[in-house]
Amino acid sequence: MLRNSTWRLDETNLANFGSDLEHAQRKEEAELEEVWSYEGTPIGNETGMFIWRVQNFGLVRVPEKQYGQFYQGDSYILLKTTTKPGSDSLVHHIHFWLGNETSQDEAGTAAYKTVKLDDFLDGLAVQHREIQNRESSLFKSYFPSLTYLQGGFESGFNHVEDEELPTRLLRVLRPSRLENSRTHNAVVISQVSLSYESLSSQAVFVLDTGDIVYQWQGSHAKGVERAKAAEFIAQLLGERGRGEMVVVEQGSGGENIFFEKLGSSGPIEEHEAEIEQEEEEEEEKEEEVTKQLMCLSSSGPFGLGHLHFDLVAKDTITRDMFDSQHVYVFDVGHQVYTWIGKQAGRKERKRGLQYAQDYIKHSGKSPFTPICRVMEGAEDELFESSLEGWQGW
């Protein structure tokens, strides 16, 4: 839920930030961005992962030790570069991540800079929109855990090494939807209200008091949650160079000091955490979805006439249904792709993502559904696996 958000989900499509300039001019402009264009830059030249955080309409590089930590009041851009199997050619995935409480200005900046980065990478990157708590499986696979922290830019860049650290409570939870997936051991770490009412016997909680970090383990918490919480605390203390870890089991005598540091105590609920309930509701909706392929085409000379958005097929989608002269919106259930044909007209290319977003809005799908833009010839493994009898382009 976007309880305190000041940004509109339906205004975060990438299409609003495209340019009509020719490719060479767009790349020249993209090369002016010093955060990725500098002497010896690995961006676009080497494999790896790079993350930037939006600050005052610009970008600031996130230190590697903070990878996987996201402030829910901010927006981020992540670039993941790998090599294609059996080839030395580079494959780029750009994700722009929006926190539930980010501002519309920051969300817009993230989308705009994503287009700039794609221009810098010659327009061949796969682009993804990610929403807090509803990230794509590919995004989650990059991290052993995702950590959501309260606050925004100012709190994130406040150096507190030599100051008193504020007490905070974090929940460590492995969502049930990750079972039997390639990210089945991943967990989500979310900062929650500093109160006993936030506790649940179904999860593990970390009470960070600065010098002492408590790991409170619910009686029904999963083993992976206990292990990941311990890893998180060990990393936290290692970064600080000081501190002590204390493990507390629910119902044990050691809880007294834990609740004293927490500042409140009371009966612990047995119910699943709220995020788990919300995700299960969304999963139920997605299970009922049938794959659909829609074609966006334009009439008139040079593809500048009226746009037509037509259903091509349902359920069974094959390679030969895609035409290089058009743009397609491909609904695979867990996310929606915008596929851009190599010979598609300028108008179709510019409006493709907007049509994908409108499709999500009017089809009854969750507004949190990930949107991914992929260019013909740069399809990723997840896209390929969604096609019937896919053998590669």
Task: Write down the pLDDT at residue 290.
Answer: 82
Final residue before a domain boundary, out of 279, 314, 337: 279
Q: Is the residue at 143 inside a domain?
A: no
Residue with tokens 């750009």: 94
The verdict on 120 and 84 lying in the same domain is: yes
Is residue 381 domain-resident? yes
What's residue 286's pLDDT?
47
**pLDDT score for 305:** 64
pLDDT of residue 301: 57
Whichever domain contains 325, its CATH number is: 3.40.20.10
Are 76 and 164 contained in the same domain?
Answer: no
**Same domain, residue pair 39 and 113:** yes
**Is 369 among the domain residues?**
yes
One domain, residues 177 and 213: yes
Instruction: Residue 14: give the domain boundaries.
Output: 1-132
Domain boundary among 244, 279, 314: 279
6-44 residues labelled b (16+ CB within 10 A) or e (exposed) = ebebeebbbbebbeeeeeeebbeebeebebbbeeeeebb
User: Are residues 255 and 315 both part of a single domain?
Assistant: no
Give residue 179's pLDDT: 58
* 165 and 108 housed in the same domain: no
If asked whether residues 3 and 128 sit together in one domain, one would say yes
Q: Give the whole-angstrom CA distance, residue 46 versus residue 327.
A: 30
Q: What is the pLDDT of residue 141?
A: 87
Q: Is residue 86, in this structure, part of any structural domain at all?
A: yes
Confirm whether 149 is domain-assigned. Answer: no
CA distance 35 to 58: 9
Say whether both 384 and 299 belong to one domain.
Answer: yes
| Any domain includes 88 | yes
d(CA 365, CA 160): 42
Whole-number pLDDT of residue 240: 79
Q: Region of 316 please: left (phi>0), alpha (psi -120 to 50) or beta.
A: beta
Which position has the token pair 């994130």? 156
Same domain for 179 and 54? no
> Which of 252, 279, 306 delimits the end of a domain?
279
Instruction: For residues 360 and 117, give the distance between their C-alpha atoms in angstroms, rounded to a whole number.
Output: 26
HSE of 184 in the Cβ direction (CA atoms, 13 Å)?
5
Residues 343 and 221 in one domain: no
CA distance readout (Å), 224 to 70, 99, 213, 364 = 21, 25, 19, 34
* CB-CB contact of 49 with 80 (8 Å): yes
Tokens found for residue 353:
């993502």
In the chain, the number of structural domains is 3
Distance of CA 338 to CAs 129, 134, 389, Å? 12, 18, 20
Question: Do 192 and 305 belong together in one domain?
Answer: no
Domain annotation covers residue 171: yes
Q: Mean pLDDT for each consecutive 10-residue tract of the chain (393 residues)?
A: 52 48 70 88 93 92 91 94 83 92 88 90 88 86 86 54 71 71 67 90 91 91 90 84 89 87 86 50 52 86 73 91 94 90 86 90 84 85 78 52
Q: What is the pLDDT of residue 115?
A: 87
The reply to whether 315 and 206 lie within a common domain is no
3-state secondary structure string, the chain? CCCCCCCCHHHCCHHHHCCCCCHHHHHHHHCCCCCCCCCCCCCCCCCEEEEEEEECCEEEECCHHHCCEEECCCEEEEEEEEECCCCCCEEEEEEEEECCCCCHHHHHHHHHHHHHHHHHCCCCCEEEEEECCCCCHHHHCCCCEEEEECCCHHHHCCCCCCCCCCCEEEEEECCHHHCCCCCCCCEEEEEECCCHHHCECCCEEEEECCCEEEEEECCCCCHHHHHHHHHHHHHHHHHHCCCEEEEEECCCCCHHHHHHHHCCCCCCECCCCHHHHHHHHHHHHHHCCCCEEEEEEECCHHHCCCEEEEEEEECCCCHHHCCCCCEEEEECCCCEEEEECCCCCHHHHHHHHHHHHHHHHHHCCCCCCCEEEEECCCCCHHHHHCCCCCCCC
- Residue 137 included in any domain: no
